[in-house]
Amino acid sequence: MREDTYRHKGLRAAMVADLRRKGIDDEAVLSAMDKVPRHLFLDLALDNMAYDDAALPIGCEQTISQPSTVAMQSHLLNIKPGMKVLEIGTGSGYQTAVLCQMGARVFSVERQQPLFVRTKKLLAELHYHARCYLGDGYQGLTEVDYSPYDRIIITCGAPFIPPALMKQLRTGGLMVIPVGEQQQEMLRITKNGESEADWQVEHFGNFKFVPMLDGKQFKS
Ligand code: SAH
């Protein structure tokens, strides 16, 4: 297992200071991001860039979300310890770890088998007790049913709000989802009732995510 050195801790503190400069003032989020060793979620070759505010490759043509995006989505979720959170798009597992660090009980779905296998093992080694599943996030989590979730986060660009996901969100719960094709608008949906008329939608600006794709994928 690679180490979390003083140099990494220093880079992490600088990353948190940079997030503050960029207007993130959610102390629960900043404290979690100050603790999670982001470099361990990346290839050793990217070690020097791990704490830059950049999206970096993680294999399977996917990228780890940049720190400011992770901070934004984590902030919008308004996590309280013990909440059940469904995450779609496990990827590197970094966002998963940040949510675990904030005290959430995380259920995470990834469609690409190589990422699923690698990240499930890594999270366990780092003692983040997220439950990881291979599946198609358009359907939510179908392998086991822990619904309804207090919070749902989608970390890939969704062309629309998947109805199965809204069904698995508890009434009163929040979903944070980037919606759009080429670029996405960050939406936060408050589910005040079952019917769409009861969903309150807030807008938080434009982002660029890798696309949310259909089905499971077994090849790298
Ligand atoms: N939070 C992750 C983001 C990785 S990129 C991180 O910071 O590392 C988005 C991830 O969503 C990719 O791993 C991609 O394979 C996955 N993904 C895309 N469509 C999906 C779907 N339908 N269901 C589950 N995961 C999906």
Domain boundaries, the chain: 60-207
141-161 mean pLDDT: 96
φ and ψ at 65, to 5 degrees?
Answer: -65, 150
How confident is the model at residue 210, as a pLDDT? 95
Q: How confident is the model at residue 2 (pLDDT cuts 50, 70, 90)?
A: confident
- Supply the pLDDT for residue 150: 98
Ligand 1 site-directed mutation target among 40, 87, 210, 218, most atoms within 8 Å of CB: 210
Q: Which protein residues are within 6 Å of ligand 1, measured from CB?
A: 58, 62-65, 88-89, 91-92, 94-95, 109-112, 115, 136-138, 155-156, 210, 212-213
Cβ atoms of 140 and 147 closer than 8 Å: yes
CA separation, residue 113 to residues 92, 119, 122 (Å): 12, 10, 14
Q: How far apart are CA 28 and CA 215, in angstroms?
A: 34
pLDDT level of residue 215 (50, 70, 90 thresholds): confident
Q: Give residue 202's pLDDT.
A: 98
| Gap from CA of 64 to ligand 1 centroid (Å) | 9
CA trace torsion 180, 20, 45, 113 (10° rounding): -40
Q: State the distance from the centre of ligand 1 to the C-alpha of 6, rounded, in angstroms.
A: 31
Residue-averaged pLDDT of the chain: 96
**pLDDT for 45 beyond 70:** yes
Distance CA 1, CA 126 (A): 9
Coil, strand, or helix at residue 182?
coil
Q: How far is the CA of 91 from the centre of ligand 1 (A)?
A: 5
Q: What 8-state DSSP symbol labels residue 47? A: G
Note whether 194 and 218 are within 8 A (CB).
no
The neighbour count for residue 95, using CB atoms within 10 Å, is 24
**What is the CA(63)–ligand 1 centre distance, in A?**
8
pLDDT at 66 over 80: yes
Catalytic center residues: 65
pLDDT, tens only, 79-116: 999 999 999 999 999 999 999 999 999 999 999 999 99
| CA distances for 131 relative to 134, 143, 146, angstroms | 10, 12, 11
Minimum CA distance residue for ligand 1 atom 20: 212
Res 177 pLDDT > 90: yes
Amino acid at position 28, single letter: A
* DSSP helix/strand/coil, 65: coil
Instruction: Tell me, in angstroms, the distance from the centre of ligand 1 to residue 133's CA.
Output: 12
Q: What is the pLDDT of residue 219?
A: 63
Q: For domain 60-207, which CATH number applies: 3.30.43.10, 3.90.1150.10, 2.60.40.10, 3.40.50.150?
A: 3.40.50.150
Atom of ligand 1 nearest to the CA of 41: 8
Q: Which whole number is the average pLDDT over 20-30?
A: 98
- What is the arithmetic mean of pLDDT over 171-186? 97
Total number of residues shown for the chain: 220
Q: What is the mean pLDDT of residues 132-148?
A: 96
pLDDT band of residue 176 (cuts 50, 70, 90) is: very high
> Interior CA angle at 138 toward 133 and 142, to 5°?
45
- Given the CA of residue 112, which atom of ligand 1 is nearest to it? 15
Task: Looking at the CA of residue 214, tell me the nearest atom of ligand 1.
Answer: 22
